[in-house]
């Protein structure tokens, strides 16, 4: 079977338009990565925001990534932390890693190696490989 991102967009779009958070994430990812559509971080943000407003941790983390990198929005580490924390508080390992990274580097929050370690431990416990690597190196 050949991947057809255009067909995927068609079906994900129908479900996303009906308010299904998982489908909204999938549409957001297609735009985020430029799969089957032109890469468009603004459109990705719009779809992630729809899912995040329903409490979806994956979408909340992705919004944090957009703020962290300044993609479609002004770079804002404080806003990135706010979104990462929403997802991290739901035990999203990637978001917990991102919270730890911001503490480790003093981005959007005062540098706090102790808090960085706490969040990296949580992330590692939730299966985040980057956090495991960070812990092994620190």
For 11-24, the pLDDT digits (tens) are 999 999 999 999 99
Cα distance between residue 31 and residue 47, in whole Å: 9
**Given this model, what pLDDT does residue 2 score?**
78
Give the alpha-carbon dihedral of 66, 46, 34, 55, to 10 degrees: 70
Write down all domains in the chain, each with its CATH number in brackets: 1-54 (no CATH), 57-138 (1.25.40.10)
Mean pLDDT, the chain, rounded, equals 96
69-95 pLDDT, tens digit per residue, is 999 999 999 999 999 999 999 999 999
Report yes or no: 97 and 64 within 8 Å, Cβ to Cβ. Answer: no
């Amino acid at each position: 079977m050949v991947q057809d991102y255009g067909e995927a967009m068609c079906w994900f779009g129908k479900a996303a338009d009906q308010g299904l958070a998982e489908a909204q994430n999938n549409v957001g990812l297609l735009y985020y990565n430029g799969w089957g559509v032109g890469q468009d971080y603004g459109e990705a943000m719009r779809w992630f925001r729809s899912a995040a407003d329903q409490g979806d941790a994956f979408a909340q983390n992705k919004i944090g990534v957009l703020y962290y990198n300044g993609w479609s929005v002004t770079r804002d580490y404080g806003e990135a932390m706010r979104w990462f924390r929403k997802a991290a508080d739901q035990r999203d390992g990637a978001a917990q890693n991102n919270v730890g990274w911001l503490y480790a580097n003093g981005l959007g929050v005062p540098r706090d190696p102790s808090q960085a370690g706490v969040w990296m431990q949580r992330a590692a416990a939730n299966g985040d490989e980057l956090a495991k690597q960070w812990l092994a190196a620190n």
